[in-house]
Amino acid sequence: MSDSVPIHDTPILGMTSRPLVPQPVEYGDPKSNNFWVEYPNGLVDLSRSTHLKELKDSAEKQLDIDPSKDPGAQNILHAGSKTITPTLLPGQLEISVNGGRTVRLDTEKTAVVIIDMQNFFLHKDLRNHPKGLACVDPLMRVVPFLREKDVKILWVNWGLTTAELSTIPPSLVRGFAKHGSPRGGGFGSELPGDFGKLLMRGEKNSELYGSLQGLYEDGRDKGTDFWIHKNRISGLWDQTLLDNFLKENGLMTLFFAGVNADQCVLGTLIDAYFKGYDCILIEDATATTSPDGAFESVIYNAGNSYGFVTSTENVIGSKVWD
């Protein structure tokens, strides 16, 4: 028997582990407007603004090179330690991500999806979630920054209607039915105090936690922030309100944050990945009540399989056109 490991037993060669590409690589259909380009210097261009062929043709023209007479011109975009990349344009950001990469994005095509930062999941009278509470300050810093860069802020939250209660599958109903718990007996049940009915629209428990509610309302009044209801673990499980909003606004690159990392955040992120969106998880603005291994798995797979992982510090410190 061979000592080599079967290829199907090897880890996914993801963005946090693979080496830098030796030459620029374009992913996707070169004839479409849905493509990425990765460069040997670690830049992954998600802006969909410049095809490799366009960049190569431009470089040949500027350097007065005829590729038919100079075979070495095939590698014109990368020679030695020098890599030619497209110029950073107005409306684009470059953000450091895990794995020694930098992603470039178009802010007009970008949104941050903040999931379930609601009283039901965070308020001390309903749940003990210190890691979730620790996400509040990072969000209070990064949301205003992204607003200024014209990134849309999407607050994606549970918010059920009476009609929807009869459409929720039994597995999900059972998961939220905490009989005998102060967190209620399931969707629509009465919570203690003035928190109202569990995860129903307009109830106090469905509002954003603490200062986040005011942050949203400020952005709502400015036209930068949007509240989007969901009625499943994933906000993109079907042709949902979130999916419709993304398509109607031409959004392709999505930051993700919120709680719980391995449940509603991951469910929405994976569905976004399946639908072809670019996925970037903001690690310090995401948390879960699950054991540490669950969060580690989310971070590992978000960077190795589904897209990229970054931090609020990296986002705020991003490179912009000037």
Give the per-residue pLDDT at 3.
55
Question: Which whole number is the average pLDDT over 194-202?
Answer: 97
Distance, CA of 131 to CA of 116 (rounded, Å) = 14
What single letter denotes the amino acid at residue 9? D
Contact 287, 295 (CB under 8 A): yes
In degrees rounded to 5, what are phi and psi of residue 252?
-125, -30
Give the per-residue pLDDT at 272.
98
pLDDT digits (tens, 9 = 90+) for 116-148: 999 999 999 999 999 999 999 999 999 999 999
pLDDT digits (tens, 9 = 90+) for 58-92: 887 776 666 555 555 556 677 666 889 999 999 99
Give residue limits of the domains in the chain: 7-106, 110-311
Residue 97 has pLDDT above 60, yes or no: yes
pLDDT digits (tens, 9 = 90+) for 226-239: 999 999 999 999 99
Q: At what angle do helices 136-148 and 211-222 cross, to 10 degrees?
A: 10
Distance, CA of 136 to CA of 211 (rounded, Å) = 8
pLDDT digits (tens, 9 = 90+) for 236-269: 999 999 999 999 999 999 999 999 999 999 999 9
pTM of the model: 0.92
What percent of the chain lies above the pLDDT cut of 90?
A: 80
Class of domain 110-311: alpha beta
Q: Which of 2-16, 36-50, 191-205, 227-241 has the lowest mean pLDDT?
A: 2-16
Q: Is 166 left (phi over 0), alpha (psi -120 to 50) or beta?
A: alpha
Burial class (CB in 10 A: 0-12, 13-18, 19+), 223: exposed
